[in-house]
Structure 1
Amino acid sequence: MTKIIVDGMLGNVAKWLRLLGIDTYYERDLEDDKLIELASKYNAILITGDEELSFKAFRKNIKVILLKNKLTKKSMIKKVLSELNINKNNLEIGSRCIRCNNLLKPIDKNLISNKLPKKIIENNDEFWYCDKCDKIYWYGSHWRNIEKELNEILA
């Protein structure tokens, strides 16, 4: 799948792309020239809300997806998926850490029982771990809200 670089204005978009399993590089405070350099170096698609950055990148033959501020988050994600020709069937939802983009690994709950409240451990059987930023994921009650939004985005 294509590598994506998201500019600092679109952190929420980066988070959702990672949630969908899309390899998404995001750092909040990168300068435009650095974003262009990275996109060129990794042959990545640049997603931005900045028309000037979009124009600069386009002049350097970098594929750009420009997201206007007036779009809702759901509309932005739909536009990105459409531009990338990505559909529900070729997504790996929940496979990446939304904080750092690292691939998640399944982990036995006995190995993390000291890191989470007892109730979470008791009520869940599947857990995923990011060995880069030490974050633990599980399908808790919050996941129902995420699934609802995902279904609306992917409809």
Structure 2
Amino acid sequence: MNMPQPDPPVIRFMADAMLGRLARWLRILGYDTAYEKVITDEALIEQTVRENRWLLTRDRRLALRKLVRSRHTLIVSDDVEGQLHQLHRELKIDLDLTHQRAYRCACCNVVLTSIRHADAAPIVPPFVAQQYEEFLQCPRCRRVFWPGTHWQNLDRRLTAIRERSLDQQP
């Protein structure tokens, strides 16, 4: 994992309550993605408009609301890979973890900052401190992240989604 430069993707998302897993994936990819587990439709729409976000929803009735008609994607798939595939195909979002960009905390949506190995070592498992040199931390929740095997698994899954999109091009 190369230390990213704070240059997040331009599109900002608002995910409805049915898209929590998708919101986490988008944050990991560096996309500013607002998400609330419990929120009224009115508050969701108001925040989407106020913060100039693109609404991601599974709710057909919500997608028909006048204020979000030109600023939403109706997500059709139940699984996160299908959802990412749809966004990659329709909105051309970048699904490549190797591109330089600011990663975000999957929980807080805050841009992660690089921390020194010496600062990370006391708060990560000892074998992690021995195995990795690069660490990122969320300034809000203080969680620490490193390029472990989970990172390679995420990259493999995203590569498969990108390849699926290539196979389906006309």
- CA RMSD, aligned part only? 1.9
> 1:100 is matched with which residue?
108
> 2:125 is matched with which residue?
117
SS at match of 1:60: helix
> 1:18 is matched with which residue?
27
| 4+ runs deviating over 4 angstroms | 88-94
> 2:82 is matched with which residue?
75
Q: Could you tell which deviates more after superposition, 86-95 or 120-129?
A: 86-95
Number of aligned positions between the proteins: 152
> 1:52 is matched with which residue?
61
What is the CA distance between 1:119 and its match in structure 2? 0.8
What is the CA distance between 1:118 and its match in structure 2? 1.0
> TM-score, normalised to structure 1's length?
0.89
SS at match of 1:106: strand
CA–CA distance in structure 2, aligned partners of residues 25 and 87 of structure 1: 18
> 1:85 is matched with which residue?
92
What is the CA distance between 1:138 and its match in structure 2? 0.2
Q: Which runs of 5+ in 2 are unaligned?
A: 1-9, 164-170
**Residue identity opposite 1:76 in structure 2:** Q
CA displacement 1:55-91 (0-9 Å, x = unmatched):
12xx1145110012x4432121121133323235796
Q: Could you tell which deviates more after superposition, 140-149 or 117-126?
A: 140-149
Q: 1:93 to 1:76 in 2, by over 3 A?
A: farther
- Taking CA–CA contacts closer than 8 Å with sequence separation of 6 or more, which of the two structures ends up with the larger relative contact order? 2
What is the CA distance between 1:120 and its match in structure 2? 0.5
> TM-score, normalised to structure 2's length?
0.82
Identity of aligned residues (%): 30
> 1:137 is matched with which residue?
145
**Residue identity opposite 1:65 in structure 2:** T
**Residue identity opposite 2:72 in structure 1:** V
Are the equivalent residues in 2 in contact too, given 1:16–1:98 (CA < 8 A)? Answer: yes
**Residue identity opposite 1:84 in structure 2:** L
